Amino acid sequence: MHAFANPARFLGIARPATGWLLVLGLALAVVGVVGGLTLTPPDYLQGETVRIMYVHVPAAWLGMAGWAGIAAAAISQLVWRHPLAAVAGRAIAPCGATFTAICLVSGSIWGRPTWGTWWEWDGRLTSMLILFFLYLGYIALAAAEADRGGSAEGRITAIFGLVGAINLPIIHYSVLWWRTLHQGQSISLSGSTIAPSILWPLGFTFFGFTFLFAAAVLMRMRAGLARARVEARLRRASAQ
Amino acid sequence: MNPWPFVIAAYAASLVGTAALLIASFASMRRAEAEAGKLRRDDR
């Protein structure tokens, strides 16, 4: 990771990677979405509504992975003072917030025909909603710190990112700790309880949306670095 | 209950949200890099 500590070296990799991630992500997501809507059979229990899984599950994964990325960036910033860590944390936050919002909205829409309700204060739903609020708090805190000191390396934001990671295991184990409406885990590292004829588009949307998420993060990191260059130049010009 | 309006609404929300994120990120990157490039050219 320290190989990317030099912003110029990072940009040399990020510039071509952004385009590739966008193209690959779009291609995989289109195959997954079209396959999920037209090529898979309906579920024996849920019928056609099971197709919502192909967008809901990647959104939930990216919402959680985003905060894991923020926590990793926070550790990197606080322990090793990695120069790109704060930029990465601030770039990940709006992307994670967007996918957490998508997860909450698509889950709510899925819940109405399946559970008969748009919302329930179930352990999984509530902990995901808390994750969304944590993202909003992180974004607001980062903006406030930048406004106050003009520094993009606020330690309070990094500590908030680290503390907020406590919510990740709560989200993961919520379906075991509080058995209410949300179903238990269907996919794990050891296998899946979903039939392969229904499961396959999920692989495409999972990697497709993940690549699109990565592309959005890289674009936001590039924007952050460019803004930092402008601010540094303006500071130098005003000091002369 | 017809499930298709729910399926279509969930996909629409997901695709619109993703597209909005990508467009906003791209616009932010282009604007910031153009500004940095302009400042560098002005310095020369």
Give the global pTM. Answer: 0.93
Give percent of chain B with pLDDT exceeding 70. Answer: 98
Average pLDDT over residues A115-139: 96
Q: ipTM exceeding 0.90?
A: yes
**What confidence tier does A194 reach under pLDDT thresholds 50, 70, 90?**
confident
Which residues of chain A lie closer than 8 angstroms to B7, CB-CB?
37, 48-49, 51-52
User: Is B3 close to A112, i.e. CB distance below 8 A?
Assistant: no
Q: Which residue has the higher pLDDT, A100 or A148?
A: A100
Query: Which pLDDT band, with edges at 50, 70 and 90, does A238 fall under?
Result: confident
Model confidence at A11, in pLDDT bands (50, 70, 90)?
very high
Q: Is A230 in the B-facing interface, judged by CB distances under 8 Å?
A: yes
Q: What is the model's pLDDT at position A151?
A: 54
Inter-residue contact B39 to A230 (CB < 8 Å) = yes
- Mean pLDDT (whole number) for A19-33: 98
Residue A29 has pLDDT above 70, yes or no: yes
User: What are A123-133's pLDDT values in tens digits?
Assistant: 999 999 999 99
Match 């075991």 to its residue by tokens. A176
Is A99 a residue whose pLDDT tops 80?
A: yes
Tell me the C-alpha distance between A85 and A126, whole Å: 29
CA distances to A6, A53, A138, A169 from A158, in Å? 20, 33, 9, 19
Nearest partner of A209 among B5, B35, B19, judged by Cα: B19
Task: List CB contacts (< 8 A) between A230 and chain B.
Answer: 32, 35-36, 39
Using an 8 Å CB-CB cutoff, list chain A residues near B27. none
Give mean pLDDT, residues B8-25: 98
Inter-chain touch B7–A94, beta carbons under 8 Å: no
CA A78 to chain centre: 21
Which of B13, B32, B36 is the closest to A106 by Cβ?
A: B13
Residue A91 to residue A80: CA distance in whole angstroms: 19
**Do B29 and A223 lie within an 8 Å CB cutoff?**
yes
Which pLDDT tens digit goes with each residue over A143-177?
A: 998 887 655 567 899 999 999 999 999 999 998 88
Q: What is the pLDDT of residue B44?
A: 67
CA-CA distance, A111 to A143, in Å (whole number)?
A: 35
* Distance between CA atoms of residues A72 and A217, nearest Å: 14
pLDDT value at position B17? 98
Q: Alpha helix (H) ranges present in chain A?
A: 7-38, 53-80, 85-115, 123-149, 155-164, 167-177, 196-239
| CA angle in degrees (0–180, nearest 5) for A101-B23-A77 | 65
pLDDT of residue A231: 86
